[in-house]
Amino acid sequence: MATKIAVVGIGKIARDQHLPSIGRSAEFELAAAVSRHGRVEGIDNYTNLETMLRERPDIPAVALCVPPVPRYEMAVAALKAGRHVLLEKPPGTTVGEVEALIELARRQNVTLFATWHSRFAPCVEPARTWLEGKQIRHVEIVWKEDVRRWHPGQDWIWEAGGFGVFDPGINALSILTAIVPPVFVTAATLETPENCQTPIAAKLAMRSLAGFDVAADFDWRQEGPQTWEIRIETDQGLLVLADGGSRMSVDGGEHPGGLEAEYDGIYHRFAALLKAGEGDVDLAPHKLVADAFLLGRKVDVGPFHE
Ligand code: NAP
């Protein structure tokens, strides 16, 4: 039988991805929406999460699709009410609050799933498999997109806890940490508009005990063609993951990928976790961003206007 689920935060990602994927899933049934302004036709709508949790004990799972700052309090409320919780990326604002959620979910004996949607891109698993047994020499990440095109009207991305350019950049880091040995940050520059709290561009240097370096270039000012690319030089050739993990080539030769179905994959994995009674929270991408903020040299740039 399908698990009833409530989606919280009916904004861009809920409408673009969560609602369609739940609609296609045989494992979940959309039972309610919770949002102050957004509404979903044909189901019960609530403007307050506590009310939904109180009035709908028949809904065992919630998907939190709000921005990171309000997410912790909502996750605590849902976990305390004994619900399984799916978190959009990034799983919270601080690493510490997500660790607290892991502990709360363990005590409540419910599933906490911190999703990293880019890990479900079709060529990520083939890339991880191809890299097995190969010696990595160097990694270069170029993640450049136009913030005005992808985040129109979203003020929260510029406020403290909004991640700025790391909102997309953490997607690259989620792929990186899924396919190569552990890395850590050695230097960062954070180009921050004078009227914002978060960076519009960032450069990171990272290193691995396995003996390779990583250079990452995140920029939200890219007009025209958009770039979401990871290039991995190995002793047996150059692997390029392009279009956010949708395409892969080795030494210029395209590898067959699969169909684009990141969020279908997320809900399938959530169902498997529920069935197994397990959780899945990997903080590796989040820690890299936190360390970039700890170590980063701030560079002031001109004001940002929509
Ligand atoms: P969004 O549209 O700006 O926000 C989602 C909804 O959250 C809003 O419509 C709002 O609905 C609700 N909300 C509750 N508290 C809020 C607050 N304090 N500030 C702003 N909104 C609040 O954002 P989004 O693009 O869907 O992103 C949400 C999360 O999904 C982020 O963590 C983001 O990184 C992740 N994500 C986004 C994308 C994308 O393409 N946009 C892709 C993958 C992942 P009500 O006003 O109705 O309550």
Q: CATH for 119-257+290-301, among 3.30.413.10, 1.25.60.10, 3.30.360.10, 3.90.870.10? A: 3.30.360.10
Q: How far is the CA of 11 from the centre of ligand 1 (A)?
A: 5
- From the CB of 237, is ligand 1 less than 6 Å away? no
Atom from ligand 1 closest to the CA of residue 90: 32
Helix, strand, coil shares of the chain, percent, nearest 5, are 35, 30, 35
pLDDT of 258 above 90: no
Question: Atom of ligand 1 at shortest distance to CA of 154?
Answer: 3
**DSSP letter (8 states) at residue 198:** S
pLDDT range class, residue 203, cuts 50, 70, 90: very high
Higher pLDDT, 199 or 306: 199
- First-to-final CA distance of the chain: 46
Query: What integer is the mean pLDDT of 126-148?
Result: 98
**CB of 112 within 8 A of CB of 101?**
yes
54 is written with which tokens?
């109180």
Q: Quote the tokens at residue 20.
A: 């369609």
Is 305 exposed, middle or buried, given 0-12, 13-18 or 19+ CB atoms closer than 10 A?
exposed
Return d(Cα 145, Cα 218) in angstroms, integer. 8
Q: Does 305 have pLDDT greater than 90?
A: yes
pLDDT of residue 283: 98
262 touches ligand 1 (CB under 6 Å): no
The CATH code that applies to domain 3-114 is: 3.40.50.720
Q: Which atom of ligand 1 is nearest to the CA of 66?
A: 7
pLDDT at 306 over 90: no
Residue 240 has pLDDT above 90, yes or no: yes
Question: From ligand 1's centre to the CA of 66, what distance in Å?
Answer: 4
Residues 6+ away with beta carbon under 8 Å from 213? 138, 139, 205, 206, 207
Give the residue with greater pLDDT, 255 vs 190. 190
- Ligand 1 proximity of 288 Cβ (cutoff 6 Å): no
Is residue 69 very low, low, confident or very high in pLDDT (cuts 50, 70, 90)?
very high
Among the ranges given (67-76, 155-164, 184-193, 249-258), the one the predictor scored with the smallest mean pLDDT: 249-258
Q: Which residues are catalytic?
A: 89
Q: Are 34 and 11 in contact (CB under 8 A)?
A: no
| Percent of the chain residues topping a pLDDT of 70 | 100
> Distances in Å between the alpha carbon of 82 and those of 57, 186, 208?
9, 40, 39
pLDDT band at 257 (very low <50, low <70, confident <90, very high): confident
- State in Å: Cα 160 to ligand 1 middle: 15
Residue 303 burial by Cβ neighbours in a 10 Å radius (0-12, 13-18, 19+): exposed
Tokens 């990871």 belong to residue: 230
Mean pLDDT of the chain: 97
CA 52 to chain centre: 26
Quick check: do 3-114 and 119-257+290-301 share a fold?
no
Mean pLDDT of 197-203: 98
| Spatial distance between the Cα atoms of 197 and 298, rounded to a whole number of angstroms | 11
**How far is residue 185's CA from residue 291's CA, in Å, rounded to a whole number?**
6
**Among residues of the chain, what percentage have pLDDT more than 90?**
97
Domain ranges in the chain are 3-114, 119-257+290-301
Q: Of 303, 267, 233, which is closest to residue 28 (Cα–Cα)? A: 267
67 CB within 6 A, ligand 1:
yes
